[in-house]
Amino acid sequence: MGIFKRAAKIVQAHAEDYKEQHKDPHAELQMTFQEMVVQVGEVKRMVGEIAAAVLRLQRQIEQLEAKLADYETQAKEALVQGDETRARERLQKRQQVKEKIEGLRQHEKELRGKLEHLKDAQEELSEHVKDFRDARDDAQTRLASAQGVLAVQKAMTLAQDAKDHALTAVQDEARVAEAKTELTQSIDQEFERLLRETKDDH
């Protein structure tokens, strides 16, 4: 690997570290919440798929149970007609259907177990999402309140600083005016003294 490629990788690593350390907590919270919502949606979708599969199995079982009754009826009719071979054939098919029903029922039982497990997981995950959302909203409300208080305090500080600055400026202006007045009065008094002395000399 060339020196420039190594340098580029080092710079990229530092940039990624900087991004990791300076993540926006608000954006990170929102991203986490969205990911949790997506997970809830995924679990909900799986619940729907398994529930639909259970319904399909129930319909298959019902259809096969109807066949059970048909095969039994056909076996009885065959016996009445003296056709034992056909009767045995119907009973054999009936047994095959019965075994298939048992397999489907076992599969249905397994799916129902998974369905209940997923429903519990969905409910628990939904509660986690709700708790997370409430905690996020509470934190954001507290942050907004604190920021509002800080903004008011800052505004009051700025207003007080402006007031103090203006007051200081006026006080400085008053002192300058007073100094000018005192100077003018002093000059007037000196002028009057010189004027009197000049008159006395004449």
pTM of full prediction above 0.85? no
Q: Could you write out the three-class secondary structure of the chain?
A: CCHHHHHHHHHHHHHHHHHHHCCCHHHHHHHHHHHHHHHHHHHHHHHHHHHHHHHHHHHHHHHHHHHHHHHHHHHHHHHHCCCHHHHHHHHHHHHHHHHHHHHHHHHHHHHHHHHHHHHHHHHHHHHHHHHHHHHHHHHHHHHHHHHHHHHHHHHHHHHHHHHHHHHHHHHHHHHHHHHHHHHHHHHHHHHHHHHHHHHHHC
Instruction: Provide the residue-wise pLDDT of the chain in tens; the chain has 202 residues.
Output: 444 455 445 545 554 654 555 467 778 878 888 888 888 888 889 999 999 999 999 999 999 999 988 998 998 998 889 888 998 999 999 999 999 999 999 999 999 999 999 889 888 888 888 888 888 888 888 888 888 888 878 878 877 777 777 777 777 777 777 777 776 777 767 767 676 767 666 5
pLDDT of residue 8: 47
- Single out the residue of 142, 143, 113, 134 nearest to residue 36, CA to CA: 134
Q: Domain ranges for the chain, please list them.
A: 32-201
